[in-house]
Structure 1
Amino acid sequence: MMLDRVPRMIQEAGALDRVGTLAARHAPGGAVLLVADPGLKASGITDRAIASLVGAGLRPVVFDAFKSDPTTASADAAAALARESGAGLVVALGGGSALDLGKAVACAAPGTLSCDAYALCANPLPAKPLPKICVPTTSGTGSETTRVSVLSLADGSKVWLWGDEMKADEVILDPTVTVGLPAHLTAATGIDAFVHAMEAATNVNATAANNVYAHAAIGLVTRHLLRAVEHPADLTARAGLQLAAALAGVAIDNAGTAIGHNIGHALASLRPIHHGRAVGVAVLATLAWNAAEDPDGRFAAVAAAMGETGGAAALAHAYERLLRASGVKVSLVGEGFDGITPAALAAKMAAPENAPMRRSNARTVTDDDLMVFAERVLTQA
């Protein structure tokens, strides 16, 4: 049993203002590429990061010309800017999209290939990536602690860039930067962290050592999600969710995900949908089926981590209560998916890029199961 390295993490209110000091250790006196979510400019968060970097004697160059679910073309543009500016470090600031993009840029910038060439490990990543610091402003994806970046191709398909080179060197967890996150995004990202941890603890790759991270994340989300949704300025709740996301990232880095993420990525390749919501509704449609077979108690252990005493049989109901109480909208009806048939969704779920998540599921997923799940996801209310 082996666990891979966890990036160095700092968590405290106001920790963003230390990014310059940390960055100067890796690129003293040089240029730094700041990959920042474009929505953070208005809140002053981007300017806080810039001020800290300038104060440490660094030259920040900002790249924020990207949208949610960033494309490999955006990563190529940012990598070109990193080369042109002579950046010796990448700081990724934002939600999962910004973190995934920044990590990919740090890996691609020292090389000559387009990011398309690294998709699904078609080519090895350059051996010496730029150092990278990840500063999450949401609490869900866990990208700050994983060795994976998820990018979109021109046709909307999501692909993985994977390798130890992708891992952050430093992670800054500052709960103050998540306070402005709207309630519906707090809920969706928190559910994303929960699903990461739950799938890592229950799929075929689960291990006792990795479950320490996964079960801790599950408990943190269960305790803090509703408080953060209802009282957004509560820094204790915000910090709890932030740590949950980072620990869940460690868990999926070691064990991966399962059918919930298979469906979530398939949905997003067909229509725009927030990732946390997508995996949240996917797990709602599949968890009772998954937990119905629990020979070694892995689903019962997840229920226990939530504080439930009814074993695996209680898990699906406990999850549904949390999902619905958080305010995540379950129904996809009228959300742009009305023209999507179960067969079309099932075909995307069976696509090669989604096959690893299907194979990792604890219970074998047949083609007939894919059709059943697709219909449930598209019609549940």
Structure 2
Amino acid sequence: MTNRDTYTNSNIETSGGNEGTLVAYGRGRATRLATDVAGLSGEGSRVILIADPEIAQADLLQGVSINLAASGCEVWLNTSIAGEPKAKDVDTAIEQARDHRADIVVAVGGGSVIDVAKLVGALAVDGQGVGAYGLGAKAFPDRRLPVIAVPTTAGTGAEVTRTSIFAAPDGTKLWAWGEGLHPEVAVLDPELTVTLPRGLTVATGVDALVHAVEATTNRTFLPGIDLPAMQAIGLVRRYLPRAVAQPDDLEARGAMLRAACLAGRAIDRAGTGVAHALGHALGSLAGVPHGRAVALGLDAALSWNAEAAPDRHAAVADAFGLQVDPTASDEALADELAAVFNRFLRELELPVSLAGDGLAEKDAERVAEATLRPENAPMLQANCRHVGEAEALSLSRALLTAD
């Protein structure tokens, strides 16, 4: 991959006149955000820059800030989003944008930071508090601020999706969805990801993999989703181990950013499945980080799901690079996929046991109940196999007894 910028429209198809997110890729590309800002909101714009606090402390924002200030922009920095955001964090960021009469929102950070920026863009002009929009209860206002998303992790794909995740006051994970959450521009700069710690590299990378697998095996699967999903699966299989072993490998880091973006495209159209419902349960009950949680959810559900959609899972196995007898049936290939996925997680040293998170088989009913909560309904409905009380309990037991 060269240093030259590349651009692509992130959506497979346009919807409702919204042309989706323009994606720019390039090494060092984040230091030229002023051009994007000027194109969206004019010269001398008032910018709310929402950034991961660890990124700010590591001085990775310096080039971004210098570029924006040199172009005449007024910049207000928000580094308060640490971990998965709460509703109050989002509302505070919205008020900051209103107080400074912001013209545009720029996010530099992981999925949580980008999710908050998307909500600020959607609600700062005419919106109410974010709680009013949880679970799609209310449509987003027509007027909004433009958003530029610059991911510093390679996993969530939030830079190209119409979804944001935040926590209710009781810790329950909520989602908001709508056309108003699409960022106008996403900038993928691999130089921003080379300092990502090993554990986060693994967790975010497997998150992208789970997105791609669920998008292409869900009952909501559409033919146009195959290309980005399968590309993402192949990229993760090839480049995630390299990014883990060689953190400064810009080719591997760039490939993982592209994989996350492609997988984000896929779930934006097809959604996620039971692995995410299980993962959200683990996050709500025990604070298990999202990427690891959904990977463990898929590990528990993959073989079971494959029984209902062996052809789709066989296609995933092929994209993942399984070498098997060419005369093998779809069922055999799909069954082998589950074992290979589990081995992949272990090779990456992702903790598979939840004992260290304070969960055991005795907690299966609690996990199953949390999995079936209303906020997870879209994921359960999209899953390729029906998930009721008995199925949720069985999957929860499998999840909690893995070692």
Deviation >6 Å, runs of 4+: none
The letter for the 2-side match of 1:149 is S
Provide, for residues 180-216 of structure 1, a one-character-per-residue CA deviation record: whole Å limited to 9, x for no partner. 0111110110000000000000001111111111001
Spell out the pairing of 1:211-360 with structure 2 (5 A cutoff).
Answer: 211-294=226-309, 297-310=311-324, 311-338=333-360, 341-360=363-382
The letter for the 1-side match of 2:358 is G
The answer to whether structure 1 residue 379 and structure 2 residue 389 are counterparts is no
Q: Residue in 2 aligned with 1:45?
A: 60
Q: Residue in 1 aligned with 2:155?
A: 140
Spell out the pairing of 1:124-163 with structure 2 (5 A cutoff).
Answer: 124-163=139-178
Q: 2:56·2:79 contact (CA, 8 Å) conserved in 1?
A: no
The answer to whether structure 1 residue 12 and structure 2 residue 22 are counterparts is no
Query: How far apart are the structure 2 equivalents of 1:33 and 1:71?
Result: 19
Secondary structure of 2:106's aligned partner: strand
Query: How far apart are the structure 2 equivalents of 1:117 and 1:350?
Result: 22
Provide, for residues 133-191 of structure 1, a one-character-per-residue CA deviation record: whole Å limited to 9, x for no partner. 00000000000010000011111111111101100100100001000011111011000
Secondary structure of 2:149's aligned partner: strand
The letter for the 2-side match of 1:366 is G
The letter for the 2-side match of 1:144 is E
Q: Residue in 1 aligned with 2:390?
A: 368
Secondary structure of 1:48's aligned partner: helix
Identity, in percent, stands at 40
Query: How far apart are the structure 2 equivalents of 1:145 and 1:243?
Result: 11
Deviation at 1:262, TM superposition (A): 0.6
Deviation at 1:338, TM superposition (A): 4.9
Secondary structure of 1:41's aligned partner: helix
Aligned length: 379
- Gap regions ≥5 residues in structure 1: none
Deviation at 1:308, TM superposition (A): 1.4
Q: Residue in 1 aligned with 2:131?
A: 116
Provide, for residues 296-337 of structure 1, a one-character-per-residue CA deviation record: whole Å limited to 9, x for no partner. x11111111111144212211221122111121111102233
Secondary structure of 2:108's aligned partner: strand
Q: 1:6·1:250 contact (CA, 8 Å) conserved in 2?
A: no
Change (3 A) 1:231 1:358: same
Q: Residue in 1 aligned with 2:214?
A: 199
Change (3 A) 1:112 1:207: closer
Query: How far apart are the structure 1 equivalents of 2:45 and 2:27?
Result: 27
- Gap regions ≥5 residues in structure 2: 1-11, 325-332
Query: How far apart are the structure 1 equivalents of 2:114 and 2:288?
Result: 18
Provide, for residues 111-142 of structure 1, a one-character-per-residue CA deviation record: whole Å limited to 9, x for no partner. 24100001111111111210000000000000
Query: How far apart are the structure 1 equivalents of 2:196 and 2:77?
Result: 22
